[in-house]
Structures are given as C-alpha cells and as structure tokens.
Chain A
C-alpha cells in the first residue's frame, strides 16, 4: 500500500534516469559500462580490461584510492553534477581501532574522489540512533575537504516513505530523503562479524539508511528483509573497509580485531561482500560466501554475484 506517492515517484524517476544514463554509456563506451554495470550483466565480460572486484592492500586512504582506480576510477560511477550519498558505518561511540565503524580516512578519500569526479553534492549519511563519536570523527576528518557533509540523521523528519516494489516480503519503509534524491549511492561499510547475520558489510549496511529497522528484526526473516531493502537501496559502488576486521563478536565487539590493511571494491555489492567474506577468517575459520544467508539470497535474487571464483579479481599493493 502506498503511504505517500510523491517521494516514491521521485525515486522511480531517479532510478529511471540512472538506467537511461547507463544505456547511453553502453552505447558510448562498451568496455567502461561493462565494468561499471557488472550488476546488470549476466556474465563477466571476458574482454573487459577492468576487474569485477578490486582488492588493494595499504593504508586506509591510499588503499581506497588505489582500489577505486583499479576498478575503473571514480568517474565510472560518479558523473559530473551527480548527487552522491556515501553510507559508511558510523554506528557507535567507538574509535577506528575497535573495527566496528568505517575508518574516517576511507570515507575522506571517497569524498575527495567524488568531488574530483565532479559530483555536485556529496553527503555522508548514517542512522546510528544517536549522535556518535564515529560520526563526529568522520566529520572532523572529512571537514579538511569540505565542512557539513557528514551527518548522523536521527530525526524522523528526514525520512520519507517508499514502497519497495522489488521486495519479496519487506515492502514498505522510510528512507532518508537525501538517498531517494541521490544519483549515486556508495556503500562504505567496515568489515565485521555480526551475530545475527554472520557478517555486516555493504548489503547489511543499507539498514542504516532507513528509519525503522526494528521491524526487520521483529516482523520478517531478517536476512530476507535485508535483501529486500538492498533491492531498493542498491549501491552502484561498494567499498569494504577491511583495514581492520572485527572477526568475532560483532557488530558491537569487543572481539578479535585482525589488521588486514585491505580495501575491497566492486560495482557489485554482492561480489564485494562475497570477496570480503572469502578472504577473512571469521571466528578462526574460513567460510564460503553462500554461508551468509543474506549474501546467498541476494545472489539468488539476481542482485549481484557471490561466485567469486567466476569473477575477475585484481589486486594491488600500495
């Protein structure tokens, strides 16, 4: 049932614009579009010079820049004049060392690259329930570039009702208006374990853009609800900050933090998450991406690909 039609139609409109934009891209530069829109392609394009997934090793900032360059550069995702929303994890009153929130340097580098690519508006948004230390730290670090981009949105008036037309079970929610009006959504989660969903990465992170997530726990199968939500909020670019990984006792910790100095990136959020799951040891063990229910569901629903072995992965050390 539609609660309010106007934001919904706006959303559809903006999605349509993106789709049209991608079509133009396909016509214009086939190889570039293939890299950018892996999500739309049934099989990886063998001829593509660009990998489906990039993995960079290095310090948070430089690794972020390197990995985005690796998969085609920010211009592949952010066009001149684009309105961009970056969604890091800023949930807690924790410092980066605790590995429960995205490293501010990762966010700062993303912001810088978006602006360099000509974005007209960049916002870094999350709903952590209260103003958190992580949000303050991120704002502080990003304010070197520009002030006023980072916001913890904890006031309901910033959210607008939308229908999740592609959702199987979870069909209505309230999403931040900025996100609904954005041309590009970039997921920038920290890599961490999660006692409900196994891991909390790009797909799970979309829960931080809506108002009422309690209902997802209470009224649905959480993994299905997460996938339904990410079918609406489907980031065009996923950057997973695995510079430090909370491998046990997530999402809040404290748990075993493993320093991996790695940033994973992909135009396919499922592939980025799958790669992260595959490359880390969780609770001291190796897991296949399919062992994370929401990653498996997302793959099965065609939101992206978790079969890393069939995708091209490129690495770089910085």
Chain B
C-alpha cells in the first residue's frame, strides 16, 4: 500500500474518532475540532469577516507553509472530504472504465474553485461569512456528524431491539438494557441531497469537488504553483499517456512532462501507473519545470468573482433579516431563534459560525438544530435551541468547547449557567392550570433554575404558574416537558438573551439583576425554606379538604 493511502487512512480515522468524541461529557485528550482548524478557507474567511484572528486555530498556517514546499499534500492525505470522495469515487466509478480522457470543459471548470473562493472572501470583506457554502471540512463534518452519525445510531438501535430477547435469555444486561438515543436533525433531506450531489459528480470525473469546487483547494493551489518537491519525468518516458489518464486531478498537461503543480495533490498515482518508472517526486528547488498555473490567464474572471462576492455580501446586508444593521433587530428576529448558551452577539456569531454542525453533533439533548432560512440566507444552517426536541442540559457546556471558530464561547460550567439564552413565557390560553383548571405543575417540576412559581390567585381554583424572569435561563425544560402539544403552553423566546463578546456572563448577568442558579436542596439549610402561609387561607398545593 502506498504511503499516501496509509497516511490518508490514519488521518480519516482520526477525524472520525475526534468527531465521535465531540460529545458530552467531553473526554478527548486533543481538541475535537482540530481538522476544522486545518481548513484554510475557514481560517481566512473567518479572519476576514471578523477582522480578527482571535479564537481561530492556527494549524492551517502550518499546512500552508508545508504546501509551499511539498504541494497540495493536504488534499490527498489529510483532508477527510478527499478521503471520502476517493472512497465514493471508487464505488461510483467501479463499473466505469478506470481511466478518463481529460474532459474538454476541464480547463474552464478549474476556475470555478477560485471564483468560489473569491465569492467567500469578497463577502467576508463586507463582514458577511459565506464560508459555510463550500468549506470542505465544515461540509464533511456536517456529513459525518449529522447524516452518518444519526444513521448509525438508528441502525444500532434497531439491531439492539432484535438482539434484546437473545441478550435477555443469556442475562447479558449490558446489552439487553442498552438504549441508544437516535439524534434527529432538521433539514435532513436537504443535507442528504446536497451530499449525494457532491459525491455523484464522480460520474463525470474523479475528485470532481477537489478539482473544480473546493475553495480550500484553491488556496492550496495558490501556495503550490511551483513547490520545492514536485513531480519529475525522466527521459525514459515513452509517452504512453497512462499517467495522464489516471491522474485523478487531471494535473498533467498535454505532454506527460508537463505538470500543473497547483492542481497536483501529490497522490503519486502517476508514479504507480508508469510502466517504465519514469515518474518520480523529487526535490528540485523552485526551478521551474511546469505549466503556468491556470489562474493567471484570466484576471478578468477573478475580478468578476471577487466583485460578485462583494455583491453577495451587499445582498446579505440589505436582507430584511440582516443582523448587520442595528435598526429594529429585536423586532424582526424569528421568535424561535434561540442561540446556544455563550453564543456571541448575533452579528459576530454569524461572522464566525461555519455551519460545521459540530455543536449539533455534540449536543447531548439534540436541542441544537440547524435553522433554515427563517433568519435570512446568511444565517442558513446555523444552530438554534429547539426546546420541543430537547432542553439545554444545565450542566453541559460542550457546544462552546467544540466550536472551531469561537462563535459559541467555550465557557466553564459555572459561567455557562449564567449565559441566559432567552426567557420562557406562559401561553395562558393553552395552559392546563390557567385555562383548564387542571392541577398540572410539570413546568415547575422540571425547571432546573426554580424560575417558576405556582400561586393560587383570585379566580383560579388551582395553583397557576408564574415565571420569575430574572431566574429564567431559557433552557427550555418547561417547554419540552409541558404536556400541551404544539405549541406548548410555555415557550422560550430569545428575549433577554445574554450575549457578550468578552467578559464574564456571571458578572454581567448579576449587573442586570439576574439570579441564575441551579436549584439544589443541599445548597441551603432547610430553614432557608420557610413554610408557605397556608394557615386558614387555603390548603397547600395538591391537598383537598
């Protein structure tokens, strides 16, 4: 097996293991978002849209430095998108002839990735991040985290159900009582079709994505126009053309001596297929032996691409849902847009969020879900709390710790508790206690913050719930467990969310008069809970005469 394949395999497995470890509690010895940190388009796009290098992982710079010397090794060895595409290419193309002629459209299609890159950078210049539309590591994290992971959970769950009677018979309780929570995600069909399309492009050429679309590939290409270590062809070449036919990136020119290094991903397929061992990769210094890179010929196209990026930024900024304007934001945000705890102020949040879905994969209660277009295109697929699906676990802070760009702050638990996400309010006309005189107090029972109080009011025969807004964190336990069906009779809205770029949530919340604490009887002595005054006036809740 070739060295490249070995490295690619190890890298891919590392990616999968790290993604699997992106869960609560976070136990990984290395940051689980390392691969996202290697993606140059995430780095440059985010740095440009936020005008800051803060919270970014600098590994991609190391990769770029290496690229100058050894070319686009990232694409053939490290990139999990590349590994996946190599695999799906093999599946899809197995029936076809292994070799392909250079398609005639190839030359112009190669520009696409540069154009895509310029669209992303152009809009980043306007402060709008479109990194998510084509960042390869974001997309592949999304694919494995939100498509493959739930699918495997589902299959495992079904297998467990089948295995249960057998396990029970042999009294293997660890198996017979094993329960797998299958995560569900919004926009699942969209995601599935998107990835089917990306992988199905194999019917035209291998590594279609890498050749024509990948903006990170474009950045690597710019850094590997003439690398130190590169493909060389010796005089023994018999010009059989096999290398040209087998090159997955079609980086070999009309003559086998010619190599377009900016397209070459140093997979060394050409070395392997050469019948006379004429091809080798060697250090030649920066001596030119190459085809001139594709992009220099069409300055015009690139000016257009950059301009269209700026245009995309402007369109985003003039969108009604834009958070980049300050006017009347509070009135137009969709009421379901409850951001994860510790999310930056919306504008900064969107400038950083790359929609990789790592937070959604890691969320233990599956409450983090991608939104569609409710908050505008520039917020597409960003995470929101969905109390209907699950509540935000009080003592979990994992989303901030797996976020590769700091869109969600990595808060310690004691800070996270104070990171108010929104505020619950009661829909009295649906509430079983308020409207139907039923003795329901589920919201009070489940509230981890003790923010709900039941009181007997004039006109109500049963105790009815009231919310103490200063104690409410917006975690959604009440909404999730409310027995009233869609919508629940108590719902969380983003109002009052505490979103700060820096500093302590705890201090800020206290300044604002909030008191967000997890209720625990053991924290205080029993005397701290004086007996309610029910004497003669009425009965304690739940008791009858």
A151–B439 alpha-carbon span in the complex (Å): 29
A226–B484 alpha-carbon span in the complex (Å): 18
Determine if B522 and A194 form an interchain contact, defined as CB atoms under 8 angstroms apart.
no
Interface stretch (choices B84-92, B206-214, B294-302, B525-533): B525-533
Task: Tell me whether B350 is interfacial, beta carbon within 8 Å.
Answer: no
In the complex, which residue of chain B has the Cβ closest to the Cβ of A277? Answer: B543
10 A-B interface contacts by CB (under 8 A): A153-B179, A193-B542, A214-B483, A253-B521, A254-B520, A257-B526, A258-B526, A287-B543, A291-B539, A293-B544
* Total CB contacts across the A-B interface at under 8 A: 124
Q: How many residues of B contact A (CB 8 A)?
A: 45
How many Å from the CB of B14 to the closest CB on chain A? 29
Which residues of chain A (252-287) have a CB below 8 Å from chain B? 252-258, 282-285, 287
Q: Is the interface of B mostly helix, strand, loop or mixed?
A: loop
Complex interface bits, A212-252 against B, C-beta within 8 A gives 1, otherwise 0: 00110110011100000000000000000000001011011
Q: A154-B181, A217-B438, A254-B520 are in contact. List 16 more A-B contacts (CB 8 A).
A: A148-B173, A151-B173, A155-B179, A195-B445, A196-B542, A197-B439, A198-B541, A198-B542, A215-B483, A218-B438, A221-B438, A222-B439, A248-B532, A254-B450, A257-B526, A285-B540
Q: Which of B181, B432, B463, B531 contacts A248 (CB 8 A)?
A: B531
Taking CB atoms, residues of chain A closer than 8 Å to B228 are none
How many Å from the CB of B153 to the closest CB on chain A? 12
Q: Which of B365, B446, B540 contacts A193 (CB 8 A)?
A: B540
Determine if A196 and B179 form an interchain contact, defined as CB atoms under 8 angstroms apart.
no
Q: Which 9 A-B pairs have the closest CB atoms?
A: A148-B173, A254-B521, A198-B542, A214-B483, A195-B541, A283-B540, A155-B179, A98-B521, A218-B483
Task: Tell me whether B236 is interfacial, beta carbon within 8 Å.
Answer: no
Task: Tell me whether A147 is interfacial, beta carbon within 8 Å.
Answer: yes
In the complex, which residue of chain B has the Cβ closest to the Cβ of A287? Answer: B543
Determine if A253 and B543 form an interchain contact, defined as CB atoms under 8 angstroms apart.
no
**Most chain-A CB neighbours within 10 Å: which of B440, B521, B524?**
B521
Task: Tell me whether B454 is interfacial, beta carbon within 8 Å.
Answer: yes
Task: Tell me whether A45 is interfacial, beta carbon within 8 Å.
Answer: no
Task: Tell me whether A22 is interfacial, beta carbon within 8 Å.
Answer: no
How many Å from the CB of B375 to the closest CB on chain A? 29
Task: Tell me whether A15 is interfacial, beta carbon within 8 Å.
Answer: no
Determine if B544 and A148 form an interchain contact, defined as CB atoms under 8 angstroms apart.
no
* Size bin of chain A's contact surface: 35 or more
How many Å from the CB of B536 to the closest CB on chain A? 11
How many Å from the CB of A262 to the closest CB on chain B? 17
Determine if B531 and A284 form an interchain contact, defined as CB atoms under 8 angstroms apart.
yes
Q: A198-B542, A217-B440 are in contact. Are A253 and B519 (CB under 8 A)?
A: yes
Determine if B526 and A292 form an interchain contact, defined as CB atoms under 8 angstroms apart.
no
Task: Tell me whether B238 is interfacial, beta carbon within 8 Å.
Answer: no
Determine if A196 and B439 form an interchain contact, defined as CB atoms under 8 angstroms apart.
yes
Determine if A196 and B520 form an interchain contact, defined as CB atoms under 8 angstroms apart.
no
Determine if A222 and B440 form an interchain contact, defined as CB atoms under 8 angstroms apart.
yes
Determine if A198 and B544 form an interchain contact, defined as CB atoms under 8 angstroms apart.
yes
Task: Tell me whether B177 is interfacial, beta carbon within 8 Å.
Answer: yes
Q: A154-B179, A248-B531 are in contact. Are A291 and B444 (CB under 8 A)?
A: no
Task: Tell me whether B73 is interfacial, beta carbon within 8 Å.
Answer: no
Determine if B519 and A254 form an interchain contact, defined as CB atoms under 8 angstroms apart.
yes
Taking CB atoms, residues of chain B closer than 8 Å to A147 are 173
Which residues of chain A (279-318) have a CB below 8 Å from chain B? 282-285, 287, 291-293, 296
How many Å from the CB of A47 to the closest CB on chain B? 36
Task: Tell me whether B481 is interfacial, beta carbon within 8 Å.
Answer: yes
Taking CB atoms, residues of chain A closer than 8 Å to B445 are 195, 251-252
A197–B540 alpha-carbon span in the complex (Å): 10
Task: Tell me whether B442 is interfacial, beta carbon within 8 Å.
Answer: yes
